[in-house]
Amino acid sequence: MFSWRHCSSRVLLLVVLAIGGLALRPAAAQTAAPAPKDAPAADQPPPDQASLLLSAYKATTYKVGTALTNMVVFSAGTGLVGGTVLTAFTTLQTWLIYTGNDYFWDKYSPREARTGETFDVKESAWRSTEKFLTAKPLIVAIKLASIYAWTGSLAVTLVAGTISTVATTGVFYVNNMGWDLYDWSQRPSGPTPAAPPKAPEIVGGAHAPAT
């Protein structure tokens, strides 16, 4: 049965998608800001500064990894046209939220400078979890709303939304931790802590000078 409400919802999604695509052009240009001229001292590791461009790269590789999954899931529940529109809309809104969330964390809660020669997997996993918990609820809420606006079916919304969310969670962690590893590998390690002085040895009742 034809429904003006569902038709208007679909038109609204398409309009938002078109406007968002146009908005990405100036946003992408702004991310390519020149690097600061002040360089850190040669014997100190550079600070882990936030980069909007790097956050945009992370969001792009994440969405490349989830686009096929979303396309399959959404098309199965809504048809090819619905799957294409919902995938494009989800990709757009997730890219924007992911980029902003990632940049916010790197800006106001930066990682410590690299020390040692071993990548800290635990620290990266915890940091990815923090970013996941602040970004994913909003992403999922918008995703569910868009599916319902297109289909008008609560059952399709819950099934397709849940499958999509679960399937893309693993991609989120792999993407974030992979970028953390790459970023870690590009930064020079900090200075190695000096070894503590040796305790003086006692020889024949006298203190021998420390070597």
Q: How far apart are CA 67 and CA 91, in angstroms?
A: 7
Predicted local confidence at residue 51, as pLDDT: 87
Which distant-in-sequence residues (6+ apart) come within 8 Å of 147 by Cβ? 74, 77, 78, 86, 156, 157, 160, 161
Q: Which of 202, 180, 167, 187 is nearest to 54 (CA)?
A: 180
Least confident segment among 54-68, 69-83, 121-135, 178-192: 178-192
Task: Quote the tokens at residue 74.
Answer: 């959404």
Say what the pLDDT of residue 185 is: 87
Tell me the pLDDT tens digit for each residue of 78-124.
Answer: 999 999 999 999 999 999 999 999 999 999 988 877 777 788 999 99
Give percent above pLDDT 90 in the chain. Answer: 55
Q: Which of 147, 146, 143, 167 shows the shortest CA–CA distance to 155? A: 147
Q: What is the pLDDT of residues 9-63, one digit of tens each?
A: 665 566 556 555 554 554 444 444 444 444 444 444 454 677 899 999 999 999 9
Cβ proximity of 59 and 149 under 8 Å: no
Residue 75: what pLDDT? 95
Helix (H) or strand (E) holding 80: helix 52-108
Q: pLDDT at residue 176 above 90? A: yes
Task: Give the pLDDT of residue 32.
Answer: 45
Q: Of 192 and 152, which is predicted with more confidence?
A: 152
**pLDDT band of 177, cuts 50, 70, 90:** very high
Q: Are 128 and 177 in contact (CB under 8 A)?
A: yes
